[in-house]
Structure 1
Amino acid sequence: MKVQRDIEKTKFNNEDDEKMVEAVKQCLEDDSCLPLIKEEIKLKIQCKRVISGEEELKVEHRQPVKYLLTEEEVFKRNRRKEQNRRSAVRTRARQKARIAELEKDVSSLEEDQCSLEQTIGSLRTELQTLENMLKIHKCSKVKLTSTCRFSIPLLPTVNNLVMLGGL
């Protein structure tokens, strides 16, 4: 880069000029004009202070000091982490218990469903048997009176009807 080489060859009399050159170099490296803008604003502020009779500000750029925790803060942080871990373990245990309970309910309901389906099947079989008995009864020429209808119960067998109490 020709601009950067020209800047490096130039000698500077003023510290502010050097700072501006450093800002320009930084801009070229980062492809950002932010360092140049910052330096320009600093210089304008310094100029206004000098013109108004105030002394120049000395701005020092220091790396921020990393805050070290006290023993009490470390203890509190560790205690809180441990509480969170225990809480997470309890929550997972509750979730597992809830899932196990739900699975147990599902299996119970499936068993109930199976039982009900068997009941439905036996009731359908009984219904079919009763319908067959009714057809046989209608086909027979036996006329029942109101008194004999209740006194002669019919029991289904394989394909025959057995009359109890006889005629």
Structure 2
Amino acid sequence: MDICSSLVDFSDMDNSLVGATVESLKSGTLMPLIKEELRLKIQSRRLGEGKDELEVTFEQPIKPVLTDDEKRRKEERKVKNREAANRSRARKRKQKEQTVQDMRILQEKNKELKEVVQKLESEKSSLQKLLHNTSTFHVPSHKDMQTSWDDSSKNNWDTIFSKDYSMWDIPSSDNYPCSPLRSSTDHDGSRPCSPEDGIVPGSQPLTNLYNSSIFLTPCSLDKPISGPSSCESGFTPSPSPTLDEEKNSPWWLQNIQ
């Protein structure tokens, strides 16, 4: 108040105006003076109209007095809220610990699975290399080696004797031998040979099929042979191989007898 009194003369001013001026000087704004000026204008207008002076009072709200029952319920609510908050924090803490534990278990399992995958990939690579470096052979089945002359198996001769003929150890010649057919009831070797279906044999004999013994004599025909009945003329019978020769014969010739 002493500092403000040296700047402003308060002798002719109302107390309310003095308070507004001091407050304005302290805050550095004119808002308190503007409010007080508006209040005084309203007050002077009311007095000019013959009305009483306007008085504005601000009463502090009175806190209600709580009864003992209300105080007890209030304390119970506080306790329940505190317990519920503690339970919630404990539940969240437990969930966090369980989540961390599950994460560690899954990480260990993931690590093990990665090791298994790497091991399987290594085995796969090894097997692929082994398969690539290993030669594969085609072994004909017993069904493929049958030599029945019916219509259903007529083309087996082409598959056995024509396509795979280069794999056999047969002396080079321009002529193909007749396939020996031996009946189960004919043991004297008088059964004529039946050449391969679709092949026109020549006139030169072939050897080296049964222990280098001559047992096949080609037939000289004008048309391809389609069955045993077709080789009834124009052939020279040759003796059938013996049992010892059959045992020592190649497996592909044993199956076609």
User: Taking structure 1 as the reference length, what is the TM-score of the superposition?
Assistant: 0.61
Structure 1 residue 115 displacement after superposition: 2.3
Deviations 1:99-137 (A, max 9, x none): 222223212222221221232233233224423432442
Q: Distance in 2 between matches of 1:89 and 1:58?
A: 53
Range that drifts further, 30-39 or 65-74: 65-74
Q: Does 1:112 align with 2:109?
A: yes
Q: Count matched residues.
A: 139
* Aligned twin of 2:33: 36
Relative contact order, higher structure (CA 8 A, sep 6+): 2
Matched to 2:134, the amino acid is H
2 CA distance for matches of 1:101 and 1:128? 40
Work out the CA distance in 2 between the residues paired with 1:107 and 1:2. 73
In structure 2, distance between residues paired with 1:2 and 1:117: 84
- 1:48 alignment partner in structure 2: 45
Matched-pair contact (CA < 8 Å) for 2:24–2:33: yes
* Pair 1:4-2:5 in alignment: yes
Larger Rg: 2
Amino acid at match of 2:5: Q
Change (3 A) 1:67 1:136: same
Query: Which has the larger share of helix?
Result: 1
Q: Distance in 2 between matches of 1:123 and 1:40?
A: 94
- Alpha-carbon shift at residue 7 of structure 1 (Å): 0.9
Please name the residue that 1:159 is paired with.
Answer: none
Counterparts of 1:43 and 1:116 in 2: how far apart (Å)? 88
Identical residues among aligned pairs (%): 27
Q: How far did residue 77 of structure 1 move?
A: 4.6
Partner of 2:66: 70
Q: Which runs of 5+ in 2 are unaligned?
A: 142-257
How big is the shift at 1:143?
A: 3.4
Kindly indicate whether the alpha-carbon contact (under 8 Å) linking 1:23 and 1:39 is maintained by their aligned counterparts in 2.
yes
Letter matched to residue 91 of structure 1 = S
CA contact (8 A) 1:7 1:21 kept: no
**Distance (whole Å) between structure 1 residues aligned to residue 49 and residue 70 of structure 2:** 47
Paired with 1:60 and 1:84, the residues of 2 have a C-alpha distance of: 40
Distance in 1 (CA, whole Å) between partners of 2:78 and 2:122 is 65
Verify the 8 A CA contact 2:24 2:32 in the aligned structure 1. Answer: yes
Distance 1:104 1:129, change over 3 A: same
CA contact (8 A) 2:43 2:54 kept: yes
The 8 Å contact of residues 21 and 32 in structure 2, kept in 1 or not, is answered as: yes
**Whole-Å Cα distance in 1 between the matches of residues 124 and 18 of structure 2?**
103
CA distance in structure 2 between the partners assigned to 1:41 and 1:132 by the alignment: 102
Distance verdict in 2 for CA 1:20–1:133, change over 3 Å: closer
Root mean square deviation, CA, Å: 3.3
Shift in Å at residue 98 of structure 1? 1.8
Q: Assess if the C-alpha contact under 8 Å between 2:4 and 2:22 holds in 1.
A: no
Q: Which runs of no fewer than 5 residues in structure 1 stay unpaired?
A: 148-167
TM-score if structure 2 supplies the norm length? 0.43
C-alpha offsets along residues 52-81 of structure 1, whole Å, 9 cap, x if unaligned? Answer: 12122344566x366365246655554444
Question: Which secondary structure state, in structure 1, belongs to the residue aligned with residue 117 of structure 2?
Answer: helix
The 3 A distance-change label for structure 1 pair 106 and 58 is closer
- State yes or no: 1:143 paired with 2:137: yes
